Amino acid sequence: RNINRLYKTNRQHFAKSKNRPIFQTINTTPFLMVAPSVRLYSNLSTEDPSKQQHAFKEFEKLIIKDREDKSLQRYLIQVMGEKDFLSAKIHLMVKHKRWRNVKSTIREMLRNDVNLNEQGYVAVIRFLSKKTMAHSESIRAFDVIKGRMEKDNIKKSTYVCGCMFEFFRYRKRFVEAKELMDEMVVEETRLDSFCYTQLVHLFRKDIDMVDYLYSLSGMGLGNIYLFNALLKVYSDAGQIDKIDYILNDMDDSGVDYDIYTYKVVLAAYIRKGKYDLVDTLLFYMANENLKLDRELCGILVKYYGMMHDLDKVENYLQKISHHKLGYDADLYSSIFSALSNFKDIALVQKWEEHMNSYSGKFKFNSNLYTSLICTFSEVGDFDKVAHYYNKMYDA
């Protein structure tokens, strides 16, 4: 630090001098641009809020870079206390997706019987929701964390319950979710849109339960994530009347559609043959400044293929290439489903060659094999039908 200060103070003198000091041969950029990793924080006052805030920001930068500074950690423990420091550390690691460090820290915490505050417990629960730990290990860890929260008298606030519902959603814990719902009713804890969104995803195959949750949530709690979750459930169930009802609720609530809303609703309308509703929705979508993605292009390619509109199909295929959206098995499945309506063997063979050039970059699935078999059957190339049937059988 002293060398850096001396260099900046005498920079013009050194530039003119022929006899430059030896430390100028060192690359000084790290000293000038990046904070040093070792600082003597033990000499700082623990009562200075600005110093504490600065130290915490430095600590977050080190978390991002997967680095440690023992002196900085000792200072923060002195300022915050061990429990709050460890909680903040786990929160930052989860925030910046340092999964390996989180995993080792949680295991060490569980072995050493260390307690956390509410922020720390929430961060641990959100991490356990991810599929970065084995299912059985995450369940055991959650049970331990739940017991420690009860021991530390951590109140199950709305946000804490929402994170627990998120864990139940990803780990398919239906009974525990219902028990927590009953507990929240007894303790008069309010459910917010985050809680309802997780519950709708969890019980998505139970339409009666989803109807009940929607009646509880009401229009006022609706945000785009909750509405999209409900639309996905009713789209998979083929309940067009419920979809129209939710879209009206979105309009009344002033919630704008996003690209996921359009994808889910378009797919539902196309499956049910509601082509007039598809055209209406596409008209509204054209007025939105939406960024196309691969899935939406696949839906539209398949739809215009069903409508025998080759110009529109080729237009969206060009957009996929122009925007560099990439290709996967589902997109190729939509392309071949669209091409089967035109019965042009040259066009089908052209896209088969295109697919083979990308074959190492994605994995074939049953939908793609089925589309290929049906398409080559439509154009009368039964050797290809047998070829892809055998490949599907081998896979």
Cβ neighbourhood burial of 253 (10 Å; 0-12, 13-18, 19+): middle
pLDDT computed for residue 38 by the predictor: 41
Are 278 and 309 contacting, i.e. CB atoms less than 8 angstroms apart? no
What is the rounded distance in angstroms from the CA atom of residue 79 to the CA atom of residue 52?
Answer: 8
pLDDT computed for residue 10 by the predictor: 61
Instruction: State phi, psi for 307 to the nearest 5 degrees.
Output: -85, 0
What is the rounded distance in angstroms from the CA atom of residue 220 to the CA atom of residue 193?
Answer: 9
Are 343 and 379 contacting, i.e. CB atoms less than 8 angstroms apart? yes
Rounded to a whole number of angstroms, the CA Rg of the chain reads 29
Q: Enumerate residues 6+ apart whose C-beta is below 8 A from 314.
A: none
pLDDT computed for residue 111 by the predictor: 85
What is the rounded distance in angstroms from the CA atom of residue 49 to the CA atom of residue 55?
Answer: 10
* Stated pTM of the model: 0.79
pLDDT computed for residue 191 by the predictor: 87
What is the rounded distance in angstroms from the CA atom of residue 98 to the CA atom of residue 64?
Answer: 8
Within its chain, how far is the Cα of 19 from the centroid?
57
The candidate with the shortest Cα–Cα distance to 5, out of 27, 25, 28, is: 28
Q: What is the rounded end-to-end Cα distance, in angstroms, of the chain?
A: 62
Are 325 and 294 contacting, i.e. CB atoms less than 8 angstroms apart? yes
Instruction: State phi, psi for 111 to the nearest 5 degrees.
Output: -70, -40
pLDDT computed for residue 291 by the predictor: 85
pLDDT computed for residue 13 by the predictor: 53
pLDDT computed for residue 292 by the predictor: 86
Are 181 and 212 contacting, i.e. CB atoms less than 8 angstroms apart? no
Return per-residue pLDDT of the chain as tens, 395 residues.
Answer: 666 666 666 655 555 544 544 444 444 444 333 344 444 444 445 566 777 788 888 888 888 888 888 888 888 888 888 899 999 999 999 999 998 888 888 888 888 888 899 999 999 999 999 878 888 999 999 999 999 999 888 888 999 999 999 999 999 999 999 999 999 988 888 888 899 999 999 999 999 999 999 888 765 566 899 999 999 999 999 999 999 999 999 988 888 999 999 999 999 999 999 999 999 999 989 888 888 899 999 999 999 999 999 999 999 999 999 999 999 999 999 999 999 999 999 999 999 999 999 878 899 999 999 999 999 999 999 999 999 999 999 98
CB atoms within 10 A of CB 162: 21
pLDDT computed for residue 233 by the predictor: 95
Cβ neighbourhood burial of 324 (10 Å; 0-12, 13-18, 19+): exposed
pLDDT computed for residue 189 by the predictor: 86
